[in-house]
Amino acid sequence: SWSPFVGMFIARVSRGRTVREFLVAVLLIPSLVSTIWMTALGGVAISQVFTQGLTSVQDAALELQLFEMLANLPLTAITSLVGIVLVVVFFVTSSDSGSLVIDTISAGGKVNAPTPQRVFWATFEGLVAIALLLGGGLAALQAMAVSTGFPFTVVLLGACFALVKGLMAEPR
């Protein structure tokens, strides 16, 4: 469900870049950072379960599991603060790029749409998320993301074929 938003955002910020720069910035670096992140946190979790027999992380509420894991490590206050900062940065940048894309689409493709319009979309986006969380919890939010993301599969497949065709037609 994020693909259309992320794709349009990346297309906008990648204008003027070479294909090599694009691939490094969009595929290589995020994959490397994700691998390091998952290896570090996954390794810590596996170590805690097998060496210390800790199951408190698994038993904790979903929204507290990260902090429960960090509580069993040294420098808990610092790592918890870093975790909070990273979560906030994720939500802010995701909301910003999502509202940028919705704003661009609703403005008919204008790059510099009025600021109040973008603020409206960011606010509306947040209100929809809050309503879904209050109405049905995380399951409702996940169901909405899955159900709205599936129809874009056909569009994305078409875009993949168009990309390959365009790259083949491009002079080397």
Domain that holds residue 151: 3-169
Contact 121, 99 (CB under 8 A): yes
Encode pLDDT of 60-117 as tens digits: 777 788 888 888 888 889 989 998 999 899 888 888 888 888 888 888 777 778 888 8
Encode pLDDT of 106-156 as tens digits: 887 777 788 888 889 889 888 887 887 787 777 777 787 777 777 777 777
State pTM to two decimals. 0.63
If one counts the domains in the chain, the total is 1
Encode pLDDT of 18-70 as tens digits: 889 988 988 899 899 999 989 988 888 888 888 877 677 777 777 788 888 88
Instruction: Judge residue 108's burial from the number of C-beta atoms within 10 Å of its C-beta, 0-12 exposed, 13-18 middle, 19 or more buried.
Output: exposed
